[in-house]
Amino acid sequence: MSYSDLIPFATVRQLEYIEAIEKAGSIAKGAKALGITDRVLKRALAAIRRRAALQGHSPAHDMTKTVPDGFTVKGVSTYYDQDGKPKGQWVKSAVDQEARDALMREAFDAMAQELPRVAPIKTPTTTSADLATVYTLTDSHVGALCWHKEGGADWDLKIAEATLTGCFEHMVNASPASEVGVVAQLGDFLHQDSISPVTPTSHHVLDADGRFSKVVQVAVRVLRRVVGLALQKHKRVVVLLAEGNHDITSSIWLRTMFAALYENEPRVQVIDSPLPYYALQHGETMLCWHHGHLKKNDQLPLLFASQFPQMWGSTAKRYAHTGHRHHVEEKEHSGMTVTQHPTLAARDAYAARGGWIAERQATAITYHRSFGRIGSVTVTPEMLT
């Protein structure tokens, strides 16, 4: 049986699978040649067929007219001649966000397979098993271009890199040697989500610094630097790369990339959840995160209690962290304290013209496994000068 008709719908890795099957003559022999199980190959073929069907290719069902990547077949009408053979066909297509997201995730997974892995580094010898320190970076807007005459301070790729890494290093140095360190990047890390400098959903035009490829390079370099700093301080490092409203797609490839980069580092855990509500249990303390673009702060306690009922029931101290609104707000609700974090980034023209003013800062908060929050360290950009 030939699988050549599936080639246009396969990723680079899946192409290798198809070539191995074609060369060996069967799935079993192809799997043996690749050093994997035939189950892996069968699952890969099924995934390719699903992707092909979404684009209108399923010869077994007389579907041969395809639609472009990122679209889905909305409907297929086939009419047959008197002998039961297809005579004509109407194919209706539509943009399918779920299908596009699935395609992007598969593409990112395939690209991540080619990434070099970061080698493990020496584990710190002295850490406190009772403590977990959460380093929050939110609404960093890497790639934004801000002008001091409008917003009071400048912000570009160079300034963003120096500010984010400098402030993070200060927080790490000033925090206790907790056994667990959480790099909580709470979303909107990138100012734009594609080549075009516009917001992903509303398509508002953004003030952007440089081409998107440069933005990506700086973003990855900053995150690798902060994860490395955390590894030098803490025995275990949890990396959260949350979805924001500015970087919905980029948060997907960032999670995929960093999970692959640190695949060989057993001390790093990348939270790989497509749902934009995240939680981690540290003893009797529950730590939760959400960017803030989908739910208001007062809605989060009930949402996290419903989303993570077992964790909620087995903890006595519970904390949620959000960003999105660029200013500080903290309120104790029934069963959970919600902290809204500000940004280190400068105000862009949109914020400045809207009259939104907030102090720029970032905070590392240390939690005890039994007693909850026990201390914090706050840094501002001015501390770097």
* C-beta separation of 245 from 204 below 8 A: no
Rounded mean pLDDT of 54-83?
60
C-alpha angle 113/21/26, rounded to 5°? Answer: 140
**3-class secondary structure for 341-375?**
CCCCCCCCHHHHHHCCCCCCCEEEEEEECCCEEEE
Residue 224, pLDDT > 50, answer yes
Name which residue leads in pLDDT, 40 or 70. Answer: 40
pLDDT given for residue 106 in this prediction: 61
| Segment 5-61, tens digit of pLDDT | 788 778 878 888 888 888 888 999 988 888 888 888 888 888 888 877 766 666 666
| Segment 345-368, tens digit of pLDDT | 999 988 998 998 899 999 999 999
| Segment 250-293, tens digit of pLDDT | 999 999 999 999 999 999 999 999 899 999 999 999 999 999 99
pLDDT given for residue 53 in this prediction: 73
Residue 235, pLDDT > 80, answer yes
Say which residues have a Cβ less than 8 Å from residue 197's Cβ, sequence separation at least 6: 191, 205, 206, 207, 208
- DSSP 8-state secondary structure symbol assigned to residue 381: G
Q: Token digits for 195?
A: 């080549």
Integer Cα distance of 137 and 60 in angstroms: 51
Q: What is the identity of the amino acid at 150?
A: E
Q: Token digits for 201?
A: 């959903």
Domain residue limits, the chain? 4-110, 126-384
Integer Cα distance of 327 and 11 in angstroms: 43
* β-strand pairing of 372-379 with 128-137: unpaired
Q: What band does 238 get if pLDDT is binned at 50, 70 and 90?
A: very high
* Chain Cα centroid distance, residue 327: 23
Residue 145, pLDDT > 50, answer yes
CATH number among 3.30.70.1250, 3.60.21.10, 3.10.20.600, 3.50.50.60, domain 126-384: 3.60.21.10
Q: Would you tell me the crossing angle of helices 97-112 and 248-261 to the nearest 10 degrees?
A: 30
Q: Token digits for 184?
A: 């909580």
* Average pLDDT score over the chain: 88
Q: What percent of the chain has pLDDT over 90?
A: 60
**CB-side exposure of 40: number of CA atoms within 13 Å?**
16
| Segment 198-220, tens digit of pLDDT | 998 888 899 999 888 899 999 99
Q: Is the pTM of this model over 0.85?
A: no
For 73, the enclosing helix (H) or strand (E) is strand 71-80
Q: What band does 195 get if pLDDT is binned at 50, 70 and 90?
A: confident
Residue 319, pLDDT > 80, answer yes
**Maximum Cα–Cα distance across the chain:** 82
- DSSP 8-state secondary structure symbol assigned to residue 2: -
pLDDT given for residue 117 in this prediction: 81
> Tokens 């799935």 sit at which residue?
27
Rounded mean pLDDT of 332-348?
96
> Tokens 């003559």 sit at which residue?
25
Residue 171, pLDDT > 80, answer yes
| Segment 93-122, tens digit of pLDDT | 454 555 556 655 665 565 566 667 888 889
* Helices and strands, number each (H, E), in the chain: 11, 13
